[in-house]
């Protein structure tokens, strides 16, 4: 989302609220980023609107589950998984939005309800979004494709897995990577070749960068990310080769077709020519 939420609805009103910066610029502009830092009232207002969005979503989930229950679809015979792809930053590190890798953005809710899943159980072990698909496959008792990178969370849910958990790797479109263990978090900025290291137990808000003081932890995390990046490059190379092969075959198939066939394929099938 970011600071510009577009239409923000509350439980009592359907009025569409478009946030503007105190200087009259469309928010998310550089002027908004600068001005909002010193405008605590505006930050408080945006936090209030964000809370209202959460409240609104809660109400819609309640409506959805109530309707499903009326159809005989409930947690006794159906699995429900509630999660988010990212959180939000409200100028805690001098920026809005979700383009960074601090825990404000990475730490998201994950709620699982369904048959044979223990109720009212809190699991503090960190997991990753890539674990969701393998978990769903296990819940449905179906085979997991070898391409799945994550692991099923069922052993953890059933308390059969008591390990501390693997490190969780995250990344942004701006070539920033993070590697999070239970107590430590490492962030690598590839473009600027700078890095950050935080002790999450002592510094949960990630304010004190310890990268230059703990070279052993920094080096270990950096090696983990290096393997991840190299693996991504390998996968990307394979995808590029498959795409080149597909484009070559497509041109061969379409070379004898009239232009209207190309238009049909592009507009109806959504395949660019």
What the chain holds in terms of domains, given with CATH numbers, is 167-243 (3.30.1120.10)
If we measure between CA atoms, which residue out of 157, 197, 198, 165 comes closest to residue 182? 165
User: What is the rounded distance in angstroms from the CA atom of residue 80 to the CA atom of residue 111?
Assistant: 8
The pLDDT assigned to 221 comes to: 93
Helix (H, G, I), strand (E, B) or coil at 89: strand
- Quickly list DSSP for 154-204: HHHHTT---S----EEEE-TTSEEEEE-SSEEEEEETTTTEEEEEETTT-T
Helix (H, G, I), strand (E, B) or coil at 110: strand
The pLDDT assigned to 165 comes to: 66
User: What is the rounded distance in angstroms from the CA atom of residue 248 to the CA atom of residue 255?
Assistant: 11
Query: How many C-beta atoms lie closer than 10 Å to residue 222's C-beta?
Result: 17
Cβ atoms of 144 and 104 within 8 Å: the answer is no
Cβ atoms of 181 and 125 within 8 Å: the answer is no
pTM given for the model: 0.70
Continuous segment of H or E residues that includes residue 83: strand 80-83
Helices H, strands E: what count in the chain? Answer: 7, 8
User: What is the rounded distance in angstroms from the CA atom of residue 27 to the CA atom of residue 49?
Assistant: 14
The pLDDT assigned to 253 comes to: 65
pLDDT in tens, the chain (273 residues): 333 333 333 344 444 344 443 333 434 445 555 555 557 788 888 889 889 999 999 999 999 999 999 999 888 889 999 999 888 888 777 777 788 899 988 999 999 999 888 888 888 888 999 999 999 999 999 998 888 888 999 988 888 766 666 889 998 888 889 999 989 999 999 888 899 999 999 999 999 999 999 999 999 999 999 888 888 888 788 888 888 888 777 776 666 655 555 555 555 555 555
The pLDDT assigned to 34 comes to: 53
Cβ atoms of 188 and 172 within 8 Å: the answer is no
Q: What are phi and psi of 253, to 5 degrees?
A: -70, -40
Angle at 243 between CA 238 and CA 248, to 5 degrees: 130
Continuous segment of H or E residues that includes residue 254: helix 215-254
Cβ atoms of 217 and 180 within 8 Å: the answer is no
């Amino acid at each position: 989302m970011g600071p510009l939420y577009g239409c923000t609805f509350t439980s009592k009103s359907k009025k569409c609220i478009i946030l503007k910066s105190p200087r009259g610029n469309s928010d998310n502009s550089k002027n908004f980023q600068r001005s909002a830092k010193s405008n605590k009232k505006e930050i408080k207002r945006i936090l209030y609107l964000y809370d209202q969005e959460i409240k609104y979503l809660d109400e819609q989930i309640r409506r959805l589950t109530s309707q499903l229950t009326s159809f005989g679809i409930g947690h006794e015979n159906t699995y429900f998984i509630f999660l988010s792809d990212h959180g939000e930053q409200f100028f805690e590190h001098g920026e809005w939005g979700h383009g960074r890798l601090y825990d404000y953005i990475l730490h998201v809710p994950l709620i699982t309800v369904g048959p044979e899943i223990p109720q009212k159980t809190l699991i503090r072990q960190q997991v990753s979004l890539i674990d969701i698909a393998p978990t769903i496959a296990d819940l449905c008792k179906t085979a997991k494709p070898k391409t799945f990178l994550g692991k099923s969370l069922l052993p953890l849910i059933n308390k059969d897995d008591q390990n501390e958990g693997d490190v969780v790797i995250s990344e942004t479109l701006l070539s920033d990577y993070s590697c999070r263990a239970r107590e430590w978090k490492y962030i690598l900025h590839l473009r600027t070749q700078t890095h950050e290291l935080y002790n999450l137990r002592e510094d949960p808000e990630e304010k004190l960068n310890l990268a230059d003081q703990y070279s052993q932890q920094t080096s270990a995390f950096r090696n983990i990310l290096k393997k991840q990046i190299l693996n991504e490059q390998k996968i990307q190379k394979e995808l590029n080769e498959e795409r080149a092969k597909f484009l070559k075959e497509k041109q061969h198939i379409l070379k004898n077709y009239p232009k209207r066939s190309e238009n049909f394929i592009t507009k109806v099938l959504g395949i660019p020519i």
